[in-house]
Amino acid sequence: EAKQSGKNRFHMFDSAQDAEVKSRSLQQELISQGLSNHEFVLHYQPKVNMRTGAIVGVEALIRWQHPEKGLLPPDAFLPSIEKHPLIEAVGAWVIDAALQQMVAWKAQGLLLPVSVNIAARQLQHQDFAQQLAALLANHPDVDASHLELEVLETSALDDIGSTATIMQECHRVGVRFAIDDFGTGYSSLTYLRRLPVDVLKIDRSFVRDMLDDQSDLSIVSGVIGLAVAFHREVIAEGVESVAHGQRLIELGCHLGQGYEIARPMPAEQIPAWCETWAPPVEWIA
Ligand code: C2E
Ligand code: MG
Ligand code: MG
Ligand code: MG
């Protein structure tokens, strides 16, 4: 009897798994169509020097303008393609679209560094540096050092030998690297030395709770100390209040990104935002 129900359970599990595989491949098909139909867009979130008010760049964040479902956030569709070759096609589109946007802003007199998020699978591709160089060559007006690639700590660490090589190649092309969501992976001092990393981005989960949680505060100040020791820049994500910014400035982290500063917005809104933004008085040096 137990055997019988066990068998049934396995049977049910199989068909549930089956359905999941089917719905994932359907989703992949829809994403592929969405890419051909130009349904993806980039929104941009400003990054600033909180002490001086200087705008240091923007982060490009993908959204899917779905014909029926409306504007979808990346978490709603990227996970189903992160292990699929499609992520490379989407990733190349993101870089190209960001470069086009930089050219358009430059024509309006706005010289703005842009960072884009890079999936692990993109970074593991042997030809990634060549692809990147080709995309940059299509936009000769863009200075490569104005493009920053945000890589998750976990993707950088995956097979660190080959990732380090690819990152070095990209670095020679002239782009900068940031380690995204820093503190959530297995940070080690050794790998920080081996990778051409310019910026550490402190994960927003630590920033969010650092005002009440002593251990999160320790992580935030630890990452800042690490950045200083390794001569890297450091930026905090998830600056959600004036108090967060104040505390970060006191700790020596002057760069910030978060809802208190600005939410991600369509590209067209960026120039006006840059014209009008001023930091809260509490932050000014
Ligand atoms: P991320 O790179 O860590 O980006 C920051 C995320 O935090 C963004 O969510 C942003 O909207 C959100 N955020 C910014 N400030 C605040 C804040 O003050 N409070 C809170 N609660 N959230 C804040 P989004 O746009 O939904 O993106 C989620 C993740 O999706 C990104 O995390 C990134 O890992 C991934 N992603 C986004 N665009 C791309 C892309 O073009 N390619 C790849 N491979 N991944 C992307
Ligand atoms: Mg990012
Ligand atoms: Mg992040
Ligand atoms: Mg994140």
In tens digits, the chain (285 residues) has pLDDT values of 344 444 445 555 567 777 777 788 899 999 999 999 999 999 999 999 999 999 999 999 999 999 999 999 999 999 999 999 999 999 999 999 999 999 999 999 999 999 999 999 999 899 999 999 999 999 999 999 999 999 998 777 777 788 899 999 999 999 999 999 998 876 667 778 888 999 999 999 999 999 999 999 999 999 999 999 999 999 999 999 999 999 999 999 999 999 999 999 999 999 999 999 999 999 997
Q: Take atom 8 of ligand 1 and give the residue whose Cα is closest.
A: 61
- Count CB neighbours of 136 within 10 A: 19
In the numeric block, which tokens belong to residue 267? 């590209």
pLDDT of residue 14: 63
On whether the CB atoms of residues 257 and 45 are closer than 8 A, the answer is: yes
pLDDT of residue 192: 81
Residues around ion ligand 3, judged by CB within 5 A, are 180-181, 237
pLDDT of residue 4: 46
Ligand 1 atom nearest the C-alpha of 74 is: 30
Q: How far is the CA of 237 from the centre of ligand 3 (A)?
A: 6
Q: How far is the CA of 180 from the centre of ligand 1 (A)?
A: 10
Q: How far is the CA of 10 from the centre of ligand 2 (A)?
A: 40
On whether the CB atoms of residues 202 and 253 are closer than 8 A, the answer is: yes
For the chain, the C-alpha Rg in angstroms (whole number) is 21
pLDDT of residue 7: 46
Ligand number nearest to the C-alpha of 201: 3
Ligand 1 atom nearest the C-alpha of 73 is: 26
- Our measurement of the distance from residue 111's CA atom to the centroid of its chain's CA atoms, rounded to an integer in Å, reads 20
The residue whose two tokens read 């593991």 is 124
On whether the CB atoms of residues 208 and 238 are closer than 8 A, the answer is: yes
Q: How far is the CA of 187 from the centre of ligand 4 (A)?
A: 16
Model-level ipTM above the cut of 0.90: yes
